Amino acid sequence: MRTPIIAGNWKMNKTIEEAIDLVKEIKSGLKKDVETVVCVPFTTLSQVKKEIEGTELKIGAQNMHWEESGAFTGEISPLMLKEIGVDYVIIGHSERRQYFGETDEIVNKKTKAALKHNINPIVCVGETLAQREKNIHKELVESQILKALDHIDDEEVIKIVIAYEPIWAIGTGKTATSEEANDMISFIRNILRDKYSQDISEKVRIQYGGSVKSSNIAEIMSQSDIDGALVGGASLKSDEFIKLIRF
């Protein structure tokens, strides 16, 4: 039985003060049996971590370099995140791939580095609208998954959360239908079964992301293979996010 996991990705939003206000409200609305994560900006990690101490709310970063230290101006290492006590890190979000040139190889290096330091990676995959229209979306997602998981073994892969986020549904208000989302997520589970085993494929949690809100979460979560959501815009307001985690 996979525990549902709902993660808010705040992206480049919230000052420290705003972050603390938001997380104070979120921690009062947690639901038992739903793992809830807030993936907050680097600048707010320490204070948010202190604010959630003693609660079930988990904390994630939105990116990370794969090296532990060195001449990488502007980057944050896994050791630095571990020092703060971060539970999760988003790897390969489509915005990182699109605006910051992250390749599948980089996603693989970051995923392996996160696992090495006991930070659970949330690995994002997903196609553009053009790729879906050309009907190459499954091929593309399969290649993203296999490259991201290169040299990752059975014990490690079960710590990974995969987020399927069709790029055309991110921040657009256009959600994939729950059937479309479930179809791709079942496809991803089959890739895991073929690469690892049936048992492993049933243990890995796979989220859907893209315009998830309180009004569509129940429908999304009712699908057989969807274990949670990676939520952008709707995670920035406490009342909406709390409604959403209480799907």
Catalytic residue check, 165: yes
Catalytic residue check, 25: no
Catalytic residue among 65, 93, 95, 127: 93
Q: Is 171 in the site for ligand G3H (CB under 6 A)?
A: yes
Distance CA 162, CA 165 (A): 10
| Nearer CB in complex with ligand G3H: 201/214 | 214
Q: Is 220 in the site for ligand G3H (CB under 6 A)?
A: no
| Nearer CB in complex with ligand G3H: 120/211 | 211
Q: Is 231 in the site for ligand G3H (CB under 6 A)?
A: yes
Count CA atoms closer than 13 A to 186's CA, side-chain side.
9
Q: How far is the CB of 173 from ligand G3H (least distance, A)?
A: 8
Residue 234, C-beta contacts closer than 8 angstroms, at least 6 positions apart: 8, 212, 213, 214, 240, 241, 244
Q: Are the C-beta atoms of residues 24 and 3 closer than 8 Å to each other?
A: no
What per-residue string of b and e applies to 206-225 under the rule 16 or more CB within 10 Å gives b?
bbbbbbbbbebbeebbebeb
The DSSP code for 169 is G
Distance CA 56, CA 59 (A): 10
The stretch near ligand G3H (CB under 6 A) out of 14-22, 113-121, 189-197, 225-233 is 225-233
Q: Is 212 in the site for ligand G3H (CB under 6 A)?
A: yes
Q: Using CB under 6 A, pick the residue from 232, 241, 242, 245 that binds ligand G3H.
A: 232
Distance CA 136, CA 149 (A): 20
Is residue 28 marked as binding? no
Q: How many residues bind ligand G3H (CB under 6 A)?
A: 14
Under rule CB under 6 A, which residues in 75-94 are in contact with ligand G3H?
Answer: 93
Residues carrying an active site annotation: 93, 165
